[in-house]
Structures are given as structure tokens and as C-alpha cells.
Structure 1
């Protein structure tokens, strides 16, 4: 997952998604997010990933176990504790 030319954060090297098919984390519109969320559920850097996505307003893909819609709801305070 690229932050737009910035140096990759250290936590990304330890992320489980870095060891799997990136296609799972960027499903087509209406596609399943189940596999990506399953992988995120076992990832040690899930919180860092979610923090990064929120701080950088990532609009696409699964980050920290949440879809773009779920991250938007989280920002608005509509989701309780998710991790």
C-alpha cells in the first residue's frame, strides 16, 4: 500500500497484507471484503494501519480491517470501538 511517494512507514513491513495478494484489499465495487478483513483480524499492526488510513484520508481499500464506508462512519463517530 503506497502513501503517494512518501517513505513507507515501518509498520507496513510487518503487515500481513504485505505478504498476501493486494487484490483482496481493493475489491471491485460491490465485491467481498471478507478475505481482507479476515487477514486484518490476525494482523499485529492493524491499529497502526487504521490510524494511518484515517490520518491520510485513504479513500479506497481495506485498511486496519475497515472498508472506506466503515472508516467514514468511524470519523463521524457512528461506530463504537472497532479494534
Structure 2
């Protein structure tokens, strides 16, 4: 039980304000080919959507919907940022 408590203590402060708190996590981790519509709808109204999205991008989160973006969409954002960074250099 101590390990679980430590994991929760490590959550960022913005997590307390997230709309997804208390929501069934299955909505955010659909099966392959499943819909992300419900998760994205929850994220769209979330006051900490930007923080969540950036955190998932920074951590290179490989699964689920975070900040309104799917895994594929987050990879695309990382690629676009890398492209912009290479042009600016």
C-alpha cells in the first residue's frame, strides 16, 4: 500500500482540478479501433487540459487520451515541434 501512496503523492498539483478525476479510466484507454470521443469531450471542458496535454507530451506517454489528444496526435505534435526546432536552428 505504501508504493501506491507514493505514486499518488507524485501526481502534479493540476491533477486535482482535472475533469477526468473519478471517471472510468476505460474511457481514456479505448481498445484498438475504439472511439476516443467520450474522453475528448471530457478533456474539451477541462480547466487543466493544456497542462495535462503538455505533461503527456513531455513524458512521451505512449497510451490513452491525455489533454484531449490520442497517442497518435501526441506523436504528431512532437514531430511538428521537432521540425520547427530544426528549421529554427
TM-score by length of 1: 0.84
Flag structure 2 segments of 5+ consecutive residues without an equivalent: 1-6, 82-89
1:27-66 matches, cutoff 5 A: 27-66=30-69
TM-score by length of 2: 0.78
Q: List structure 1 runs of 4+ shifted beyond 4 angstroms.
A: none
RMSD over aligned Cα atoms = 1.4
Flag structure 1 segments of 5+ consecutive residues without an equivalent: 79-83
- Residue-pair matches, total: 74
More helix by share: 2
Structure number with larger C-alpha Rg:
2
